[in-house]
Amino acid sequence: MIRILIAEDHLMVRAGIRAILEKVGDMTILGEASNGQEALELTEELSPDVLVMDIMMPRMNGIQAAEQLRSRKSKVHILLLSMYADEGLVYQALQSGVNGYVLKSSVSDELVQAVREIANGKKFLSAPISEIVLEHAFKPRQTSDTDPLASLSPREKEVMQLIAEEHTSVEIANLLSISEKTVEKHRANLMEKLHVRNLAGLVRLAVKYRLVDGDF
């Protein structure tokens, strides 16, 4: 039996994913998370075989959560779901150590197969994602030149996402268990590293490079 945790912030989408997986006989759903932080906590608590996780979530997105899980030596197999197939996002996801990447437009056809394959230690990519990977497999890629967020630390990305989600410094400090002064320092560092003059500039970059969804 494949033990699964679902992480998706939209209730209806989460219910749809659960319905697809519960129809097959070799999978069981251990729990559900509505953001990246909950996904981290429930993964550590429940030890699922597979984490099926949306790439765009509040509090901490799927890529950040995957990076955190890998840094904690978690053995969970991670399948990211995304509406987007742009090259920058795909490479961020693969570099975070995920085992699979499925487009939401293909979920009804590919989800069960993807879960089974990554649970058995294989990789799974939707066809458009495979094409991106193969097309650029032999091309040197300067991530830092194409994605300014590549120079940020995991904590800086986390703070930037929370800023883009309109959390105040006090709220960010409480969420991350750090001081308000530390939040302000992170914000100043972000503005300096990314060469922006105000918070609106940070938000624009967060949306442009898919740190947050433009519809948040």
Give per-residue pLDDT as tens, 109-142.
899 999 999 999 999 999 888 887 776 655 555 5
CATH number at residue 78: 3.40.50.2300
154-194 per-position pLDDT tens digit: 889 889 999 998 899 999 999 899 999 999 999 999 999 99
Q: Are residues 84 and 182 in the same domain?
A: no
Report CA-CA distances (Å) from 174 to 7, 9, 177, 178, 209.
23, 21, 5, 7, 26
The residue segments making up the domain with residue 201 are 143-208
- pLDDT band (50, 70, 90) for residue 143: very low
CATH code at 169? 1.10.10.10
- Classify burial at 6, counting beta carbons within 10 Å of its beta carbon; exposed 0-12, middle 13-18, buried 19 or more: buried
Q: Which of 135, 166, 200 is the last residue of a domain?
A: 135
- Same domain? For 22 and 81 the reply is yes
d(CA 7, CA 152): 24
Is residue 216 situated within a structural domain?
A: no
Q: Is the pTM of this model over 0.95?
A: no
Residues 47 and 106 in one domain: yes
Which is nearest to 45 in space by CA: 37, 55, 57?
A: 37
How far apart CA 96 and CA 62 sit, in angstroms, is 9
> How many C-beta neighbours within 10 Å does residue 43 have?
25
Do the Cβ atoms of 50 and 43 come closer than 8 Å? no
Note whether 151 and 118 are same-domain residues: no
In a domain, 48, yes or no: yes
Overall number of domains in the chain: 2
186 within some domain: yes
